[in-house]
Amino acid sequence: MKNPNTLTVSLVTIGDELLIGQTIDTNSAWMAKELNHIGASVKRRVAIGDNWDDIWNCLQKEGEAADVVLITGGLGPTSDDITKPLLCKFFGGKMTTDKAALENVIDIFTKKLNRPLLDRNLWQADVPDNCTVLQNKRGTAPGMWFEKDNTIYVSMPGVPHEMKGMMQDDVLPILKDRFMLHAIQHRTLLTAGIGESFLAEILVEFEQELPQHIKLAYLPSYGMVRLRLTTSEQNAAQGEIKLEFDKLKKLVGDYLVIDQDLSLQETVSNILKSSKKTLSIAESCTGGYISHLITLIPGSSTFFLGSVVSYSNEMKVEILDVPSEIINQHGAVSLETVAKMAEGIRRKTGSDYALATSGIMGPEGGTEQKTLGHVCVAVSSAQTTTTTTFDFRFDRKRNIELTAVHALNFLRKNIG
Amino acid sequence: MKNPNTLTVSLVTIGDELLIGQTIDTNSAWMAKELNHIGASVKRRVAIGDNWDDIWNCLQKEGEAADVVLITGGLGPTSDDITKPLLCKFFGGKMTTDKAALENVIDIFTKKLNRPLLDRNLWQADVPDNCTVLQNKRGTAPGMWFEKDNTIYVSMPGVPHEMKGMMQDDVLPILKDRFMLHAIQHRTLLTAGIGESFLAEILVEFEQELPQHIKLAYLPSYGMVRLRLTTSEQNAAQGEIKLEFDKLKKLVGDYLVIDQDLSLQETVSNILKSSKKTLSIAESCTGGYISHLITLIPGSSTFFLGSVVSYSNEMKVEILDVPSEIINQHGAVSLETVAKMAEGIRRKTGSDYALATSGIMGPEGGTEQKTLGHVCVAVSSAQTTTTTTFDFRFDRKRNIELTAVHALNFLRKNIG
């Protein structure tokens, strides 16, 4: 290791699509999280195009700076994918067919895809003779592990689930095995209802007294702030991080949403599961996004009965039994309507709790009384129906996301 | 410019959260797209942590390689944000309070947030005296424009909507104004039902005969492949790219979904809008995700009436009027049930078309007959109900996304 205390990693992503904005890079975040978890430290993430000189220079520079260079992308079967021949030349090898990789390609095409096998598919089994091949159990392009001048280089396909599989099956276990890494430990809590700078004021003394090897980070997102303490496992073993985390929780007080690194939908899901209560949702302005967040959670069918996306007023009346007078008198975006929506879906589904949203997400539809970004939210239970309003001031997509997060937080408070 | 023909850009993102995987970087993709649009060429994207030496070295290296270095992040009010003092030292300036930025901070806190103003908020208005200040109309941290050794450096806040506003208001117009850029032109089409390597076989000759200044890229995603031709505006003006794009369309034939760079939901939305038809959806396995994709489109309320996320069988029976015998006999995941779901939601909402999905997304629920990833889809109109099945083999999230895309494509085929 270039630095005896930490294994440093550079993440290199290859592909023109990243430089013209066609693709959002979700691979790097996942890789960083997993590497962090085993105690490796990502120092840089670099994205470059399918260009020979750019790739070559990048590998050289990143290799000088980091212990491990993890490369994704550029291994496809088409002519714009030049990464493999470049790697072969960079490490001074010769191309050779890997038998296991070839069997894998043949297997995928004949058994799984049931398609004729083309030459360009067979070429996917060719690899430089000076690499260790990482077999791809989820696709045709094999991974390649090189070592040069005390640096490890691993090339993986850019397809997310293929890369993830290869990291989990091979790369992470090998790195963990070979280097004695101290896993980095994080303790994270989520706050709501207080801005970043006000939190910082509350935590001035805490930060000053924090031991040097424990770091505090502020991670704001969607109008909430996550606070994270970080240290290495060694220190954590001494109970120090627990101690500091408890202090932090006390200082944050009522602003605390949850003292784990969980999303709001996971938090809500855990509460409902453990109390064996069920949920239904009536979404107007969020258009199905809250239901999507809930149903992304495996096993959500144990507590989530379903929802109605009542985009039209007719649906509010016909399916959710909102009295049309209520809509006529108060409007579709009103506390009165959203309360009836929540009560309606709860009655229809027989759920213990119901959440409802109605608002103006933009870019059009705002009025003087009800401005763009105005949202009404209701939570209904057998005992009572509670409502609230929010006002956001962003674009349609962000307004929808903010509404979802704050509606879920309102639900959490009313089912706690 | 370091190269007289193109304005090259490096994107630098600063923040520990990017290196531990807490945040997915969506800023870079947006910036790349916009820069590309005005004819600037993004060569590299680099993400680094809140570390003095790493930032310093990165600015030095990126400044040597590119004409413009666009920096985001690290400008927050808390102690882990060190970018501003570093920039001040890097460019040899002194900190000074910017009057307009200060007024902006005071305005936001007193008028918009109605919160007391802290010292750390006032500091946000301090800037190095050798930069041009870009006022932030959406937040408290101002942008900073520096020039050194023939390179432009711009520092912007990392909050997406603040960065986007500053790019649109200032950075993009100034760059466009100052450099005579030839806008890069893309022509993109979307194909479905054919793999990347088979497309490449069809296009072997086309690729060989393609003029050097026109590039063809394969962009696979969600089991479909986008094909993109790229050239500069100069060549495009000669009609060459149009000619080549027409050839490409012919070669692709029936695999063509749409000859524009549109998503499937946009394609479906355009068809429905122009034919003045309405849509409703019954989602089981996709849990609201298709409705979310549709309602992200501004103005979708003109054709989208709403949907029912019938996660429980009771909801399928009670709200969508699926006969319970059908579910008992064929199961919730069956062509029979999904057809009844589509017909039910269409009748209930009175829409012209209805789409319905039911499937097994995992990680649990697969059986020998109906394996994990098995999906049934139906489209119903006044004339007929058509069904189909798909089989995916990924994780829950990706299975949901794939189902949504392929269901939308099935809908497109049946409303065309």
Q: Please give the pLDDT value at position A365.
A: 83
* Cα–Cα distance measured from residue A56 to residue A52, given in angstroms and rounded to the nearest whole number: 6
Q: Which of B144, B178, B212 is the last residue of a domain?
A: B178
Angle in degrees, 0-180, between the axes of helices A264-275 and A396-415, rounded to the nearest 10: 30
* Cβ contact A306–B312 (<8 Å): yes
Give yes or no: residues B14 and B65 share one domain.
yes
Percent of chain A's residues with pLDDT above 90: 68
What CATH number is associated with residue B206? 3.30.70.2860
Tokens of B266: 């946009």
In three-state form (DSSP H/G/I as H, E/B as E, the rest C), the secondary structure along chain A is CCECCEEEEEEEEECHHHHCCCCCCCHHHHHHHHHHHCCEEEEEEEEECCCHHHHHHHHHHHHHHCCEEEEECCCCCCCCCCHHHHHHHHCCCCEEECHHHHHHHHHHHHHHCCCCCCHHHHHHHEEECCCEEECCCCCCCCEEEEEECCEEEEEECCCHHHHHHHHHHHHHHHHHHHCCCCCEEEEEEEEECCCHHHHHHHCHHHHHHCCCCCEEEEEEECCEEEEEEEEEHHHHHCCHHHHHHHHHHHHHHHHEEECCCCCHHHHHHHHHHHHCCCEEEEECCCCCHHHHHHHCCCCHHHCEEEEEECCCHHHHHHCCCCCHHHHHHHCCCCHHHHHHHHHHHHHHHCCCEEEEEEECCCCCCCCCCCCCCEEEEEEEECCCEEEEEEECCCCHHHHHHHHHHHHHHHHHHHHC
Tell whether A246 is covered by a domain.
yes
Q: Which of B33, B230, B296 sits opposite A396 (nearest CB)?
A: B296
Q: Is residue B231 pLDDT above 90, yes or no?
A: no
Q: Please give the pLDDT value at position B376.
A: 98
Q: Is residue A56 pLDDT above 80, yes or no?
A: yes
**B221, closest residue in chain A (CA to CA):** A159
- Secondary element (H or E) of residue B160: helix B160-166
Percent of chain B's residues with pLDDT above 90: 68
Q: Is the peptide bond before B211 cis (omega within 30 degrees of 0)?
A: no
* Cα–Cα distance measured from residue B293 to residue A42, given in angstroms and rounded to the nearest whole number: 33
pLDDT band at A109 (very low <50, low <70, confident <90, very high): confident
Give yes or no: residues B90 and B236 share one domain.
no
Q: Which of A33, A298, A397 sits opposite B296 (nearest CB)?
A: A397
- A with B: how many residue pairs have Cβ under 8 Å apart? 299
Domains in chain A, number: 3
Give yes or no: residues A225 and A90 share one domain.
no
Q: Please give the pLDDT value at position B142.
A: 95
Q: Which of B228, B258, B288 is the last residue of a domain?
A: B258
Give yes or no: residues B193 and B331 share one domain.
no
pLDDT tens-place string over residues A144-174: 999 999 999 999 999 888 999 999 999 999 9
Partners of B42 in beta bridges: B9
pLDDT band at A25 (very low <50, low <70, confident <90, very high): confident
pLDDT tens-place string over residues A332-362: 999 999 999 999 999 999 999 999 999 999 8
Pairing of strands B143-148, B151-156: antiparallel
Q: Which of B326, B324, B330, B334 is nearest to B356 (CA)?
A: B334
pLDDT band at A3 (very low <50, low <70, confident <90, very high): low
Q: Please give the pLDDT value at position B212.
A: 86
pLDDT tens-place string over residues B192-212: 888 888 898 899 999 999 998
* Cα–Cα distance measured from residue A335 to residue A319, given in angstroms and rounded to the nearest whole number: 19
Tell whether B1 is covered by a domain.
no
Q: Which of B36, B115, B295 sits opposite A21 (nearest CB)?
A: B36
Q: Is residue A234 pLDDT above 80, yes or no?
A: no
Partners of B380 in beta bridges: B354, B385
Give yes or no: residues A189 and A270 share one domain.
no
Residue-range definition of the domain harbouring residue A105:
7-178
pLDDT tens-place string over residues A258-276: 999 898 999 999 999 999 9
pLDDT band at A37 (very low <50, low <70, confident <90, very high): confident
Tell whether A50 is covered by a domain.
yes
Tell whether B133 is covered by a domain.
yes
Give yes or no: residues B286 and B227 share one domain.
no
List all residues 6 or more positions away from A332 whose beta carbon is below 8 Å from its beta carbon. A284, A313, A316, A358
Measure in Å the smallest separation between the Cα of B192 and chain A Cα atoms.
Answer: 15
Listed by number, the residues of chain A in 257-286 with a beta carbon closer than 8 Å to a beta carbon of chain B are 281, 283, 286
Percent of chain B's residues with pLDDT above 70: 97
Distances (CA, A) of A399 to A244, A373, B165: 35, 6, 16
Q: Which of B290, B394, B289, B284 is nearest to B331 (CA)?
A: B284
Mean pLDDT of the A19-37 span = 87
Mean pLDDT of the A14-25 span = 83
- Secondary element (H or E) of residue B96: strand B95-97
Q: Is residue A18 pLDDT above 90, yes or no?
A: no
What CATH number is associated with residue B385? 3.90.950.20
Q: Please give the pLDDT value at position A341.
A: 98
What is residue B244's three-state secondary structure?
helix
Answer for the pair B132, B101: CB distance below 8 angstroms, yes or no: no
* Cα–Cα distance measured from residue B89 to residue A98, given in angstroms and rounded to the nearest whole number: 53
Give yes or no: residues A248 and A395 share one domain.
no
Tokens of A376: 């009404």
Tokens of A282: 């009536």
What is residue B355's three-state secondary structure?
strand
Q: Is residue B415 pLDDT above 70, yes or no?
A: yes
A304-309: strand order across its sheet: A385-391, A374-381, A353-359, A279-283, A304-309, B304-309, B279-283, B353-359, B374-381, B385-391
Interface mutation target, options A12, A14, A22, chain B, most CBs of B under 10 Å: A22
* Cα–Cα distance measured from residue A97 to residue A189, given in angstroms and rounded to the nearest whole number: 50
* Cα–Cα distance measured from residue A212 to residue A225, given in angstroms and rounded to the nearest whole number: 23
* Cα–Cα distance measured from residue A194 to residue A256, given in angstroms and rounded to the nearest whole number: 10
Mean pLDDT of the B84-112 span = 91
Q: What angle do CA B13, A21, A158 make, to 5 degrees?
A: 85
Q: Please give the pLDDT value at position B382.
A: 95
Tell whether B2 is covered by a domain.
no
pLDDT band at A256 (very low <50, low <70, confident <90, very high): very high
* Cα–Cα distance measured from residue A11 to residue A43, given in angstroms and rounded to the nearest whole number: 8
Give chain A positions within 8 Å (CB) of B9: none
Give yes or no: residues B80 and B146 share one domain.
yes
Tokens of A345: 């879906």
Chain A contact for B221 (CB, 8 A cutoff):
yes
Give chain B positions within 8 Å (CB) of A198: 115, 118
Answer for the pair A36, A172: CB distance below 8 angstroms, yes or no: no
Answer for the pair A188, A225: CB distance below 8 angstroms, yes or no: no
Burial class of residue A82 (count of CB atoms within 10 Å of its CB; 0-12, 13-18, 19+): middle
* Cα–Cα distance measured from residue B236 to residue B348, given in angstroms and rounded to the nearest whole number: 50
Q: Is residue A281 pLDDT above 80, yes or no?
A: yes
pLDDT band at A113 (very low <50, low <70, confident <90, very high): low
Q: Please give the pLDDT value at position B39.
A: 87
* Cβ contact A319–B308 (<8 Å): yes
Q: Please give the pLDDT value at position B333.
A: 96
What CATH number is associated with residue B159? 3.40.980.10
Give yes or no: residues B24 and B173 share one domain.
yes
- What average pLDDT is seen over chain A? 91
* Cα–Cα distance measured from residue B386 to residue B388, given in angstroms and rounded to the nearest whole number: 7
Give chain B positions within 8 Å (CB) of A230: 20
Tell whether A397 is covered by a domain.
yes
Mean pLDDT of the A368-382 span = 93
Backbone angles phi, psi at B207, to 5 degrees: -65, -40
Q: Please give the pLDDT value at position B386.
A: 98
Burial class of residue B42 (count of CB atoms within 10 Å of its CB; 0-12, 13-18, 19+): buried
List all residues 6 or more positions away from A17 whose beta carbon is below 8 Å from its beta carbon. A23, B217, B219
* Cα–Cα distance measured from residue B57 to residue B49, given in angstroms and rounded to the nearest whole number: 12
* Cβ contact B21–A43 (<8 Å): no
Interface mutation target, options A292, A303, A314, chain B, most CBs of B under 10 Å: A292
Give chain A positions within 8 Å (CB) of B314: 305, 349-350
Listed by number, the residues of chain B in 304-363 with a beta carbon closer than 8 Å to a beta carbon of chain A are 304-312, 314-315, 318-319, 348-350, 362-363
Distances (CA, A) of B285 to A161, A297, B207, B321, B360: 20, 12, 40, 18, 7
Give yes or no: residues B154 and B269 share one domain.
no
* Cα–Cα distance measured from residue A107 to residue A358, given in angstroms and rounded to the nearest whole number: 51
**How many Cα atoms occupy the beta-carbon half-sphere of B206 within 13 Å?**
22
Listed by number, the residues of chain B in 94-153 with a beta carbon closer than 8 Å to a beta carbon of chain A are 113, 115, 118, 120-121
Q: Please give the pLDDT value at position A224.
A: 85
* Cα–Cα distance measured from residue B60 to residue B380, given in angstroms and rounded to the nearest whole number: 60
Tell whether A1 is covered by a domain.
no
* Cα–Cα distance measured from residue A58 to residue A54, given in angstroms and rounded to the nearest whole number: 6
Q: Please give the pLDDT value at position B113.
A: 67
Listed by number, the residues of chain B in 379-408 with a beta carbon closer than 8 Å to a beta carbon of chain A are 394-398, 400
pLDDT tens-place string over residues B160-187: 889 999 999 999 999 998 987 877 788 9
Q: Please give the pLDDT value at position B21.
A: 79
pLDDT tens-place string over residues A83-92: 999 999 999 9
Give yes or no: residues A160 and A235 share one domain.
no
Chain A contact for B16 (CB, 8 A cutoff):
yes
Mean pLDDT of the A195-205 span = 88
* Cα–Cα distance measured from residue A225 to residue A130, given in angstroms and rounded to the nearest whole number: 48
Distances (CA, A) of B59 to A304, B2, B20: 49, 16, 21
Listed by number, the residues of chain A in 168-197 with a beta carbon closer than 8 Å to a beta carbon of chain B are 186, 195-197
- What average pLDDT is seen over chain B? 91
Sign of the Cα pseudo-torsion (B147, B153, B154, B157, in order): negative
**What is the b/e burial string over A249-258, where b = at least 16 CB atoms within 10 angstroms of the residue's CB?**
eeebeebbbb
Q: Please give the pLDDT value at position A190.
A: 94
Give chain B positions within 8 Å (CB) of A29: 18, 21-25
* Cβ contact A29–B23 (<8 Å): yes
What is residue B40's three-state secondary structure?
strand
pLDDT tens-place string over residues B325-342: 999 999 999 999 999 999
Give chain A positions within 8 Å (CB) of B215: 80
- Secondary element (H or E) of residue B69: strand B68-72
Partners of B374 in beta bridges: B391
**How many Cα atoms occupy the beta-carbon half-sphere of A318 within 13 Å?**
19
Q: Please give the pLDDT value at position B363.
A: 86
pLDDT tens-place string over residues B265-324: 999 999 999 999 999 999 999 999 999 999 999 999 999 999 999 999 999 999 999 999
Q: Is residue A218 pLDDT above 90, yes or no?
A: no
Q: Please give the pLDDT value at position B222.
A: 78
Tell whether A2 is covered by a domain.
no
Listed by number, the residues of chain A in 43-62 with a beta carbon closer than 8 Å to a beta carbon of chain B are 43-49, 54, 58, 61
Q: Is residue A12 pLDDT above 90, yes or no?
A: yes
Q: Please give the pLDDT value at position A111.
A: 74
Measure in Å the smallest separation between the Cα of A239 and chain B Cα atoms.
Answer: 22
List all residues 6 or more positions away from A49 whose beta carbon is below 8 Å from its beta carbon. A14, A15, A16, A18, A19, B43
Tokens of A347: 């009655």
Answer for the pair B343, B379: CB distance below 8 angstroms, yes or no: no
Q: Which of B258, B288, B304 is the last residue of a domain?
A: B258
Give yes or no: residues B209 and B188 share one domain.
yes
